[in-house]
Structure 1
Amino acid sequence: MSKRDEQVDDAPDDAQPPTPVRQEMSGGREWWTDALAETYCEMDPQWESPRGRFEARLSTRQFGDLSLSTVRAHAHSVLRTPAMIADTDSEDYFLCAVTGGPGRIEQHGRSIWLDKGSFAVIDAGLPFRFDFPQQFEQIVVRVPRPLLLGRMSERDVDRVMAQPVSAVSGAGVVVSRFLQQIAALDAAVPNASATALSASAMDMIVTALADTGGAVSPTQQAHTVDLHRAQNLLKTRLHDENLSITEAAAELGISLRYLQKIFQSTGSTPSEWLLQARLERARMILLSTEITIGELASRVGFKDTSHFSRSFRNRYGISPGQYRQR
């Protein structure tokens, strides 16, 4: 049997453990201080009246690559300082959607109010402050840094950070409703479905963020549009093992040099981005099918199974077969 026809002995997809149902906890001030650090990152809760009544409820669930939680709590503020950042290595992003009671976010020299399902993204690697003047409820999505930076340039992420996204118009409506539906799920979701849906959620979030963030120069706006066009083209051609970056540039009607330039803002080259997109697609297919590793390699655009297996191991630390078995 050739390597391309290699089979992997693993359990059928419906035998894989589903993503766990949400876990709920509640408590007072001391518990809440610890829960914030364990669930998100180190923060300092503050109360106007230290002796007044305070109770917080936290509901969490893992959803594919995203960690989603619902917070219900009495009025208070939370502060993340430079000293806290220096003591930890948390650099994830947090999408915060306020679904009950208004809240104010301060970060990056910006101060915004959120309510009625509107949301914003903040950076745990930078100081921030939340103020909730009354009892509130919000949904928080923890987004691993590579997931967002793989879809937006660092410049664009900086532009949209701590900027409000409306839940009454545009793509923000879809994102807000989707997050609320996921947060309300009582049933477990199969891992394969959760992984695929979390990837779709990230694409929707990026679309909603791209519509906000204040004014940009016409040149920057054109670069962002062209980058999204290029990424979408490459995504539709992941299966094409003969696709070259030069050919992609020609299909887009831009020069190869310009294509390489707009990808510099993502911290990668077009070829590197295409490779990572192929490996991410392979990872999701591994969780939802039982096709051979050789067939999988071909489906995501690799001419050689050995090259695919090496690339997958370099990316995820284990072979495709081991990843499927886990």
Structure 2
Amino acid sequence: MCVSRDRTAGFAVYQRNLHFDAVRVWTMTFQPMVFQRTATLISQSDPETYRVGLLLSGAMQRSWGRQEANYGKYELHADDSSQPFELRVRSTHGPISCVGIEIPKKQVTLPRGRADRLIGRPVSARNGIGALLAGALLHLTTDTSVYRPTDDSRLGAILGDLVSALFAHVMEEDDRGLPPETRRRTLALRIQQFIRQHLHDPQLTRDTIAAAHHISTSYLHRLFQDDGIPVMAWVRHQRLERARNDLALHAMPVHEIAARWGFTCHTDFTRAFRTAYGTPPRDYRQQKLHTQPTRPSVSRNSGAKTSA
């Protein structure tokens, strides 16, 4: 991010960061400034994250492409680290303050193309899901003394769910005017994305998938019937494909690969793998080892990395 000061103001910034595994929560207090995320900066470094900010004082204008949006106090806005934009923040009464969250895109359980519809859009933090997310951010940044280091992963997961819920809520509002078949297909794509991100969880079942999307298991079944495959068969296929890829690329024991992708019983994994691909997983690995071409050895010089 490139930061420059407003011509009428001094350069003063206070920022505090809180890390909850891969999720970062931050607070900022600063004088009027201009923040830019340029194509050059993106090409140099892209963390593949979404940032959701909450303006607590001051006013802000965002421009990206040919679009513009204005934000006032207690409004949320989302940025994508992969998209250029410019933020101009101003105030007539003292410094500007805000709080926000930066989260890996892979932790937002929605298809990226769909989630991008929220980028730059003003969302109220005074009610609904916006208020829930705002309340959580304000609570965390006000007092962290009551939490233990072991709470970090739990808090990161909760914050990820709140950001996903905010994105989903806005998209569902937009989808109300769409034809029923389009809404069904959109929901099915969202569920498939959710499943891909939770394949490692052995507790991923019809009930947990349906509950996460506020639908019945029978409706979940009908959604997958459209593609001609039962939902849990689709889950098993996704797990097996990832296990097969790992067998060809990693030397870790077969039972560890199975567990990595949600198979709790090694025997069940071996049987399912042989049924799907016609050979046991160990034999498949041996076949891949013998068919991979031998590469010439290359000496590599170690060097220090620099980050933009």
| TM-score scaled by length of structure 2 | 0.62
> Paired residue for 1:47?
6
Q: RCO higher in 1 or 2 (8 Å CA, sep ≥ 6)?
A: 1
Matched, 1:77 2:34: yes
- Does the residue aligned with 2:264 lie in a helix, a strand or coil? coil
> Paired residue for 1:102?
59
Matched, 1:141 2:141: no
Matched, 1:223 2:223: no
Alpha-carbon contact 1:80-1:127 (below 8 Å) kept: yes
Relative to structure 1, the CA distance from residue 56 to residue 240 in structure 2 (aligned partners, 3 Å threshold; closer, same or farther) is closer
Q: Flag as ranges the 4+ runs of structure 1 deviating above 6 A.
A: 230-235, 272-276
In the TM superposition, residue 127 of structure 1 has moved relative to its aligned partner by: 0.7
> Paired residue for 2:145?
187
Query: What is the identity, as a one-letter code, of the residue corresponding to 1:225?
Result: L
Of 196, 209, 223, 1:254 maps to 223
Cα RMSD after superposing both structures = 4.2
Greater Rg by CA: 2
- Does the residue aligned with 1:211 lie in a helix, a strand or coil? helix
Alpha-carbon contact 2:184-2:223 (below 8 Å) kept: no
Alpha-carbon contact 1:43-1:78 (below 8 Å) kept: yes
Relative to structure 1, the CA distance from residue 152 to residue 68 in structure 2 (aligned partners, 3 Å threshold; closer, same or farther) is same
Distance 1:241 1:114 in 2: 39
Alpha-carbon contact 2:57-2:97 (below 8 Å) kept: yes
Alpha-carbon contact 1:116-1:167 (below 8 Å) kept: no
Query: What is the identity, as a one-letter code, of the residue corresponding to 2:32?
Result: A
Q: Runs of 5+ in structure 1 lacking a partner?
A: 1-41, 263-268, 277-292, 311-326
Relative to structure 1, the CA distance from residue 209 to residue 145 in structure 2 (aligned partners, 3 Å threshold; closer, same or farther) is closer
Relative to structure 1, the CA distance from residue 96 to residue 303 in structure 2 (aligned partners, 3 Å threshold; closer, same or farther) is same
Relative to structure 1, the CA distance from residue 92 to residue 275 in structure 2 (aligned partners, 3 Å threshold; closer, same or farther) is farther
Matched, 1:161 2:119: yes
Distance 2:6 2:143 in 1: 32
Spell out the pairing of 1:8-87 with structure 2 (5 A cutoff). Answer: 42-49=1-8, 52-87=9-44
1:217-241 superposed Cα distances (whole Å, 9 cap, x missing partner): 3344333334456677997x95459
Alpha-carbon contact 1:70-1:140 (below 8 Å) kept: yes
Distance 2:13 2:52 in 1: 19
Distance 1:65 1:275 in 2: 27
Spell out the pairing of 1:147-296 with structure 2 (5 A cutoff). Answer: 147-148=107-108, 151-187=109-145, 189-212=147-170, 215-216=174-175, 217-218=178-179, 219-228=181-190, 238-239=201-202, 252-256=221-225, 258=227, 270-271=235-236
> Paired residue for 2:265?
303
Alpha-carbon contact 1:108-1:162 (below 8 Å) kept: no
Alpha-carbon contact 1:64-1:191 (below 8 Å) kept: no
Alpha-carbon contact 2:25-2:100 (below 8 Å) kept: yes
Query: What is the identity, as a one-letter code, of the residue corresponding to 1:100?
Result: S
| TM-score scaled by length of structure 1 | 0.59
Distance 1:114 1:182 in 2: 23
Alpha-carbon contact 1:95-1:142 (below 8 Å) kept: yes
1:35-62 superposed Cα distances (whole Å, 9 cap, x missing partner): xxxxxxx31424223xx43311111111
> Paired residue for 1:122?
79
In the TM superposition, residue 207 of structure 1 has moved relative to its aligned partner by: 1.3
Distance 1:233 1:83 in 2: 34
Distance 1:125 1:194 in 2: 26
Query: What is the identity, as a one-letter code, of the residue corresponding to 2:84?
Result: P
In the TM superposition, residue 167 of structure 1 has moved relative to its aligned partner by: 0.9
Relative to structure 1, the CA distance from residue 306 to residue 197 in structure 2 (aligned partners, 3 Å threshold; closer, same or farther) is farther
* Percent identity (aligned): 15
Relative to structure 1, the CA distance from residue 153 to residue 164 in structure 2 (aligned partners, 3 Å threshold; closer, same or farther) is same
In the TM superposition, residue 83 of structure 1 has moved relative to its aligned partner by: 2.0
